[in-house]
Amino acid sequence: MTVAWLPGAISDLQRLREFLRPLNVEAAHKAVSAIKGAVNLLVPHHYGKPVEDLPGYFDAIIPFGSAGYVLRYRVEGEVIFIVAVKHTKEAGFSDRLGQPAGAIEG
């Protein structure tokens, strides 16, 4: 299996990093590393919980500090598409579910 980050998920990752950076540069780096590490674990394990009312979509919880992150993804054939990333204290995901077009493989 391979992983492809959709543009919205890349923007999410950048947004989360930029939120933390002024507060704590090291924490910003560790948060991004934790998220990317969790994505790398999806390839052999595909461990997310199915999203209710969205067939084929999964949410993986990434613990970090006293809270964490939620990684939304879907699997199509041999590709895991990373759709979105949010902090667990943020409001729910937007309607942006993403399409394979424009995906960036990583």
DSSP 3-state of 103 = coil
Residues 9, 83: contact at Cβ < 8 Å? Answer: yes
Print the domain residue range for 65: 2-105
Q: How many domains does the chain have?
A: 1
Identify the residue with better confidence: 71 or 105. 71
- How confident is the model at residue 62, as a pLDDT? 92
pLDDT at 48: 87
Among residues 77, 71, 21, the alpha carbon closest in space to that of 49 is found at: 71
Instruction: Count Cβ atoms below 10 Å from residue 17 Cβ, excluding itself.
Output: 16
Domain CATH for 74: 3.30.2310.20
pLDDT tens figures, 19-50:
999 999 999 999 999 999 999 988 877 778 99
Q: 52: helix, coil or strand?
A: coil
Q: What is the pLDDT of residue 91?
A: 63
Q: Is the pLDDT of residue 82 over 90?
A: yes
Whether the pTM exceeds 0.75: the reply is yes
Q: Minimal CA–CA distance to 95: which of 36, 48, 51?
A: 51
